[in-house]
Amino acid sequence: MLIQTAFSELLKNPSMQMLYDSESFVVVHMQLDGDSTVIDASKIKKPTLARHGFEIVDKRSGKEVYLDGSWAELFQQQITAWQVKTPTQEEVEDTLDGYAELAHNPVLMH
């Protein structure tokens, strides 16, 4: 499948967004705190951070890696760069191949 326009086609669940799907890879953006309601700051008892991450599945090896924290931020920067200058499928696959080297978890169910 070709790269989805600006990586912004939403799935039915607003907390999961399919970014990429090819013969070799699947990339999903997961919003763990996907609630977009406005919260009154005076009622918050402890700091809360918006959590998100990216799951990259290497279909060739049957393994996946979940990027969160600084890894997710680096990957988000890559996506932003792709939105500015649309990459070729080969460029995307090369980048994902680098992240796939981190994959050690077998895909049990997808």
Is the per-residue pLDDT at 103 higher than 50?
Answer: yes
User: 52: pLDDT confidence band, cut at 50, 70 and 90?
Assistant: confident
Is the per-residue pLDDT at 96 higher than 70?
Answer: yes
What φ, ψ does residue 66 adopt, rounded to 5°? -110, 120
CA angle in degrees (0–180, nearest 5) for 21-110-19: 25
Is the per-residue pLDDT at 55 higher than 80?
Answer: yes
Is the per-residue pLDDT at 39 higher than 90?
Answer: no
Secondary structure (3-state) at 36: coil
CA pair distance 77, 68, nearest whole angstrom: 13
Domain boundaries, the chain: 5-33+50-106
Task: Return the sign of the alpha-carbon dihedral for residues 99, 63, 105, 19.
Answer: positive
Secondary structure (3-state) at 106: strand
